[in-house]
């Protein structure tokens, strides 16, 4: 069952919406959600107070007379962090759902999927210049924390992708899956490149570029006073007079963003807020599947 934006909008709360999307995705995949998992030894580490005693390698103690702790690597499970841009511009809506609502719904649905297959899902929310992190975990109880966090998010402040990149470098271990959900409307032209550098750190980066249909088509007719959602700027224009030029500018922005992502080997998904979100996720997952 693919859910359109209007239907989703009638579902109150991220939990319901995310679940609905997730179920839609699952019915589209036709695969068992129970994936096998295995734990593979990765390395030894000298014991330090606070390490779990159950991971002490007694055989190594017998050989070397030193306490070593075994460290394991989940072979199939992954650590995914949803980086959600909750800046003020994400609150824009011309239809049923705002960009932020779409972003949180997508993030929630992905969290469902990840936790369901025993993968760890975490969250990094940026709103009003402050970070709110939920470290990735795979437990079912963690899912509620994630969804509650997403639910309580309000759009505010300016988009700052550069600081987001810096923050993620600090908190993310290598080889994480980073899913960025943002409208990428950052005044700093270099900010996107900073985000893309996460890929160089062996992270698997995906950018969900959220765009409102009104931003894509500029459907305004009457003279309008456009107000900046993240600042004090305002401009009075006759939209019909500048429509052509605006569309050129915006399409160029989309094209350059897509090209930059491709160049950095980053997955790029353009998401219209009036699209069916399970469709978006299926498209995304299918592409992921093709990449292996």
Partner 1 sequence: MTFGNPWMLLGALGALIPLLVHLFDRRRPRPHPFGPLAFVLRSQKRTASRLKLKRLLLYTLRTLILLAIPIALARPELKQDAATAQVVKGPAATAIVLDASLSMRWSDGTSLFERGRDEARDALKDLLPEEPATVLVCTESPAAPPPPGFDRGRLRGIVDEARPTFGAADLSRCMDMAARALEENPMPAKRLVVVSDMAAAGFRLEAPPPTVKGPTGAPVKPEVVLRDAAEGREVLANHAIVDLKVEPALQAGPRSFQFTFTVRNFGAEAVKDLEAAVRVGESTLAKGFVDVPVGGTTQKALTVRFPQGGTVVGQVTLAPDSLPEDDRRAFVLPVPRALKALVVNGSPHATRYRDEAFFVDAALTAPGSPVEVSTRDAEVGLREDFSAYDLVLLLNVAAPSADEAKKLADFVENGGGLFISMGDRVNTEEYNARLGAVLPRPLRLVRTSAEREDPDAETKTARLAKVSVEHVLFSPFTGRAEEGLIGARFYKYMLLEADNPGSPGASQVLATYEDGAPAVAVMRKGKGRVALLTSTVDRDWSDFAIRTSFLPLMQRFAAYLTGSLEEREEIRVRVGESATLRPEGTQKVTAVRAPDGAEVQVKEQPDGSLVAGPVTEPGAYSVLGADGKVVPALSFAATLDPAESDLSRVPQETLTAYFGEETVKASSGDADKPAVPLWTWLILAACLAFFFEGTLLRK
The residue ranges that bind partner 1 (CB under 8 A) are: 89-90, 92, 99, 183, 185, 187, 212, 215, 220, 222-230, 233-237, 241-242, 245-246, 248-250, 253
| SS3 category, 233 | coil
Q: In degrees rounded to 5, what are phi and psi of residue 226?
A: -85, 130
Nearer to partner 1, 212 or 274 (CB): 212
Which is closer to partner 1, CB of 185 or CB of 205? Answer: 185
Q: Are 22 and 109 in contact (CB under 8 A)?
A: yes
Task: Return the sign of the alpha-carbon dihedral for residues 112, 116, 117, 121.
Answer: positive
Residue closer to partner 1 by CB (options 139, 245) is 245
* Beta carbon of residue 209, minimum distance to partner 1 (angstroms, whole number): 12
CB of 225 to partner 1, least distance (A): 4
Contact partners, residue 30, CB within 8 Å, separation at least 6: none
Give Dmax over CA atoms of the chain in angstroms. 82
3 state DSSP class of 179:
strand
Nearest CB to partner 1, comparing residues 152 and 251: 251
153, 125 Cβ separation under 8 angstroms: yes
Whole-number Cα distances in Å, 111 to 12, 41, 93, 198, 251: 18, 26, 24, 20, 31
Minimum CB separation of residue 39 from partner 1 in Å reads 45
Q: Which has the closest alpha carbon to 157: 187, 179, 134? A: 187
Minimum CB distance to partner 1 smaller for 81 or for 102? 102
Nearest to 209 by CA among 79, 105, 85, 81: 85
Pick between residue 81 and residue 185 the one whose CB is nearest to partner 1. 185
Task: Find the shortest distance in angstroms from Cβ 241 to partner 1.
Answer: 5
**Least separation in angstroms between CB 87 and partner 1:** 9
In the complex, the smallest distance separating the C-beta of residue 5 from partner 1, rounded to whole angstroms, is: 18
């Amino acid at each position: 069952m693919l859910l359109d934006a209007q239907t989703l909008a009638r579902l109150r709360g991220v939990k319901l919406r995310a679940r609905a999307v997730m179920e839609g995705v699952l019915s589209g995949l036709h695969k068992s959600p129970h994936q096998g998992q295995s734990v593979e030894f990765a390395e030894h580490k000298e014991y330090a107070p606070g390490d779990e005693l159950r991971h002490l390698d007694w055989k190594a103690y017998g050989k070397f007379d030193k306490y070593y702790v075994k460290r394991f690597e989940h072979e199939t499970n992954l650590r995914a962090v949803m980086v959600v841009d909750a800046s003020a511009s994400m609150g824009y809506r011309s239809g049923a759902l705002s960009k932020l609502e779409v972003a949180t719904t997508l993030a929630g649905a992905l969290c469902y999927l990840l936790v369901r297959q025993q993968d760890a899902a975490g969250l990094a929310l940026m709103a009003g210049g402050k970070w709110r992190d939920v470290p990735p975990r795979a437990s079912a109880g963690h899912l509620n924390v994630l969804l509650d966090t997403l639910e309580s998010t309000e759009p505010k402040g300016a988009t700052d992708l550069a600081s987001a990149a810096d923050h993620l470098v600090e908190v993310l271990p290598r080889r994480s899956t980073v899913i960025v959900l943002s409208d990428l409307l950052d005044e700093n032209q270099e900010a996107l490149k900073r985000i893309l550098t996460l890929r160089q750190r062996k992270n698997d980066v995906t950018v969900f570029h959220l765009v409102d249909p009104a931003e894509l088509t500029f459907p305004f007719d009457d003279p309008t006073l456009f107000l900046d959602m993240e600042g004090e700027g305002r401009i009075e224009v006759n939209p019909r007079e500048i429509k052509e030029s605006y569309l050129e500018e915006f399409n160029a922005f989309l094209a350059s963003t897509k090209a930059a992502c491709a160049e950095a080997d980053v997955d790029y998904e353009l998401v219209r807020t009036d699209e069916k979100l399970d469709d978006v996720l299926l498209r995304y997952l299918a592409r992921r599947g093709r990449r292996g």
